[in-house]
Homo-oligomer: A and B are copies of this chain.
Amino acid sequence: MKRYQALADTMAAEIRAGRLPVGTRLPSVRHLTTQYGVGQSTVFRAYYLLEEWGLIRARERSGYFVAPGAKVATQTASPTPIAEPAAIDVSSLVFSVLDAVKRPDVVPLGSAFPSPTLFPLARLAKSLAHAARMLDPWSTVVDMPPGNEQLRRQIALRYIGMGIAQPVEELIVTNGAMEALTLSLMAVTKPGDVVAIESPCFYAALQAVEHLGLRAVEIPVDPHAGLDLDVLAEALVKHPVRACWFMTNFQNPTGATLSIEKKRALVDLLAKHDVPLIEDDVYGELHFAADRPPPAKAFDTKGLVMHCASLSKTLAPGYRLGWVAAGRFADAIRRLKLMTSISTSIPIQAGIADYLQHGGFDKHLRKLRGALLTQRGAMEQAIARWLPPDVGFVQPDGGYFLWLQLPEHVDAMQLHRRGLEHGINVTPGPIFSARHAFGNYVRINFGHPWSPQVESAMKTLGELLRAAS
């Protein structure tokens, strides 16, 4: 490690530990050169690196300050893994939260979706209209599972863009990623089986585990480093884990992305135990860095990874078009699909195939990513402006969620309820956990274009947080 990297690491640790609160002015360059006995250029390069990491921010003519996205959602607040696999009962809590999302009078900070206004709905309508007009009546039979071939070829092309040679035959078109995930789970488990899930995790995984009568082992996710592979390795030895359901990129709710090394290690570990991975990768295309982070599927040589994705968050909300690259489980999943929902809507499949071929998906994606990045900035500024300084979060490199760590004494469920009374919906941490942990966390959504309503909602949120203190 170079000297400037070591210096940056040291300072990053200070910031992440909360010893340098948000807004704190960093020591001057001169001060540091004296303190650490290093050259000015070393200090500058360390600062540039910290800035790149999103930990500090320069203000013109006043030096560097600790940025809002710097504070740690500390691992200490994550629950330790459940010692014994447990049945789950989380649905009623989730639904009381989800039902609030549909209220038009509520600012959707708690929504699971980006704003529908960010998508090329008019262009999609054109593709859908064209495809419906041209629909071969027999496609209603031919395009049944695994699905429309032209569409699956277009999807396979996107895998090539990720460096994955994805056989079209192993792609099953589904009603959004949710069906892909559920069918994948059904394909490799039976009631009573143990599955490994994340903690915190996407609440739908908890619900699926619950309604399929499975038992869950929770593996902690660190907002910086992602899934704890050591705990997973231990769980694989201790429990008869039949499947894992993990989100490898911009995890919901933490925003964590597994490094390439960890993805490779995860795939190797599971291959060693012959345990299938259900990989939820619905946010992977929403990256703010130059390149799309690869899925774990990229390192799968045994067909053990079921890579589930959709266009619901990237192109076509409400169309319900997803898929699974199902590896060795393709035929089992195709049959389950046929059995439970017969087929994905034929005109929708044809319409999306037309759009992917002619609509300009990549251009739209660039625009969408730009909008989300801008909104992340606006949200961070609003947090710095309105929320108490002891609210922490780790800046995500993609997606549209912030996982806010509130002071220990704040009850996220109560904040959620108080919020609704004031026309604000935030997603309380406990719905992301089988044991209703994360009682002082909330997830907020920056997927909506900035507006006076959102700004005002953040101000109100700050007032509610202060009132709770």
Show the binding face of A for B, using Cβ within 8 Å. Answer: 91, 95, 98, 101-102, 104, 108, 111, 113, 115-117, 119, 121-122, 124-125, 128-129, 132-133, 135, 137-144, 175-176, 178-179, 182, 186, 190-191, 204, 207-208, 211, 213, 312, 317-320, 335-336, 338-348
Q: A129-B128, A133-B122, A335-B91 are in contact. Are A178 and B144 (CB under 8 A)?
A: no
A119 CB to nearest chain B CB (Å) = 7
A345 CB to nearest chain B CB (Å) = 5
Contacting residues, chain B, for A344 (C-beta < 8 A):
320
Give me 12 A-to-B residue pairs in the complex whose CB atoms sit less than 8 angstroms apart, sorted by A's number.
A104-B138, A125-B129, A125-B347, A128-B129, A140-B318, A190-B213, A312-B342, A318-B347, A320-B343, A320-B345, A320-B346, A345-B348
10 further contact pairs, Cβ within 8 A, besides A108-B141, A113-B141, A345-B348: A91-B339, A101-B141, A102-B144, A128-B128, A128-B129, A175-B345, A178-B340, A208-B339, A320-B346, A341-B341
A213 CB to nearest chain B CB (Å) = 5
Counting chain B CB atoms within 10 Å of each CB, the highest count among A119, A132, A178 belongs to A132
Contacting residues, chain B, for A121 (C-beta < 8 A):
132, 135, 137
- Determine the residue in chain B with the shortest Cβ distance to A210: B339
Measured CA separation A207–B339 after assembly (Å): 7
Measured CA separation A101–B346 after assembly (Å): 17
- Determine the residue in chain B with the shortest Cβ distance to A138: B116
Measured CA separation A182–B341 after assembly (Å): 9
Measured CA separation A269–B116 after assembly (Å): 49
Contacting residues, chain B, for A115 (C-beta < 8 A):
137
The 9 nearest A-B residue pairs measured at CB: A129-B129, A140-B318, A318-B346, A116-B137, A125-B132, A140-B317, A191-B191, A320-B345, A116-B140
Measured CA separation A245–B387 after assembly (Å): 54
Contacting residues, chain B, for A204 (C-beta < 8 A):
339
Contact of A186 among B175, B211, B312, B343 (CB under 8 A): B211
Q: A142-B102, A345-B320 are in contact. Are A211 and B336 (CB under 8 A)?
A: yes
Contacting residues, chain B, for A117 (C-beta < 8 A):
137
Measured CA separation A294–B121 after assembly (Å): 41
Contact of A318 among B312, B318, B345 (CB under 8 A): B345
The answer on a CB contact under 8 Å between A179 and B343 is no
- Determine the residue in chain B with the shortest Cβ distance to A335: B95
Measured CA separation A277–B143 after assembly (Å): 32
The answer on a CB contact under 8 Å between B142 and A113 is no
Contacting residues, chain B, for A345 (C-beta < 8 A):
175, 318-320, 345, 348
Measured CA separation A228–B307 after assembly (Å): 47
Measured CA separation A339–B95 after assembly (Å): 9
